[in-house]
Amino acid sequence: MSSPTPEGVAVDMQAVSVQPLSAYLSDLDLARVIASAVRQVPGVLEMSPGRFALEATYGPGEHVSGVVLQHPTPDTLSVAVHVVVAEAAFRAAFDEATLSQLAPDPEQCPMLLRLAEQIRTVVSQAADTLGLPALVAIDVALDDVG
Amino acid sequence: MNVFNRIVILILSVASLAFGIIGLLLLGGLIAPAAVSPNGVLLRQWSVFTQLTAADATAAALVCAVLALVGLILLILELLPGRREPAQFLVRQDGLGKVTVTRSSVQDLVQFEAAAVQGVMETRQAVDEGRKGLRVRVRASIAPEAEAPQVGKTLQERVQTAIQRHIGLPVDEVQVATQIEPFEHRGRQPRVR
């Protein structure tokens, strides 16, 4: 049995380096990264466990609430994110609206939609960073205000 | 009611209906206990029905009839495709997926907005989905010195604007009812903070 040549090792290392990071991560790890990124979005208080059933990604002996990963096909992924909106964000939006009463901007995107778009953006960024398979859907559920 | 609770109610209603019917059939002598005791399971329990005195049998028949009736009613209510209000509203659906908001969040927003209206002490609100958008019903307890028509009009305008502006859902109508008396609290905290 021959030992690998230095060249052979180098080739193997190259093969490893082009593997996306997600190849080494479980769904639970991916959900954890996504949840962590979503929690950083201003206006998100916390991940929501869901209103009617426990919305989570499950792994051996643990789960990540608020992130549901599904694989519609082996090389695609859909993400559903459930969050609790911070009451402070609501109040800030109210204050902002009160201040702009005199000159309301009809083109302005509603506050919750802006928040949903920000969540989608960070999920996309996290997916890019991890080299996840193509995201076919990013559903955002604004479950509660806290 | 969530899915788990509904399944429990379904199981209980079927059990109640089955027990009631079997009891009535045993009491009427239409079937033998062995017929409803596969492999002798529950044979002793079912046999009790055949050994009752006339007075006890009448009482047992009444109980079984009530159980069967309650089970049947619950089963019908659970299985009927009645009109169920959506628990969440679809705010946007595009190529990237859906954005939904729960009914309670919309109610919270209505509550925040109502709390900011001068003269409003407390509110109760309900939101459902109409053909052209959300239908909002607000009951407001207002200060005695407040002008009810003015407060009602302001509430209507502000709630409609708030939902459209902060959530992005169309509003079909906002019904406001005002009252001077405070709401009765049944061990719950007031909704307006």
Alpha helices for B98-193 (secondary structure H):
103-115, 148-162
- Cβ atoms of B164 and B119 within 8 Å: the answer is no
pLDDT mean for each 10 residues of chain A (146 residues): 44 50 77 93 91 83 91 87 88 70 62 91 90 86 88
Alpha-carbon gap, residue A91 to A146, rounded angstroms? 11
Query: Which range is least confidently modeled, A15-24, B66-75, B84-93?
Result: A15-24
**pTM tops 0.80, yes or no:** no
Are residues B162 and A91, on separate chains, in Cβ contact within 8 Å?
Answer: no
Q: DSSP letter string over A37-90?
A: HHHTSTTEEEE---SSS--EEEETTEEEETEEEE-SSTTEEEEEEEEEEPHHHH
Which of B96, B97, B167 has the CB atom closest to A110's CB atom? Answer: B167
Q: Which of residues 28-67 of B touch A (CB under 8 A)?
A: none
Using CB atoms, which residue from B102, B108, B112 is nearest to A51? B102
Interface test with B, best of A91, A112, A118, A138 (most B CBs within 10 A): A112
pLDDT interval class at B87 (50, 70, 90): confident
Q: Is the model more confident about B82 or about A45?
A: A45
On whether the CB atoms of residues B72 and B65 are closer than 8 A, the answer is no
Please give the pLDDT value at position B85: 62
- For B129-181, write each residue's pLDDT tens digit: 888 889 999 998 888 888 888 988 999 999 998 888 888 889 999 999 988 88
CA dist B1 and B12 (Å) reads 15
Vertex B5: Cα angle to B3 and B11 (nearest 5):
100
For residue B162, the chain A residues in CB contact (below 8 A) are: 94, 97
pLDDT of amino acid B82: 58
Confidence of residue B83 (pLDDT cuts 50, 70, 90): low
- Answer whether A120 touches B (CB < 8 Å): yes
Q: Mind listing the pLDDT tens digit for each residue in B26-56?
A: 998 888 888 888 888 888 888 888 888 888 9
- Looking at the complex, does the CB of residue B157 fall below 8 Å from at least one CB of chain A? no
Task: Choose from B1, B96, B125, B164 for mutation: most chain A CBs within 10 A.
Answer: B96
The answer to whether B96 faces chain A, any CB pair under 8 Å, is yes
Give me chain B's average pLDDT, please: 86
Amino acid present at B6: R
Q: Is the CB of A110 less than 8 angstroms away from the CB of B164?
A: yes
Residue of B102, B116, B166 with shortest CB distance to A144:
B102
Cβ of residue B166 closer than 8 Å to a chain A Cβ: yes
Residue A110 has its nearest CB partner, among B2, B104, B165, at B165
pLDDT computed for residue B192 by the predictor? 52
Q: CB of B113 within 8 Å of any CB in chain A?
A: yes
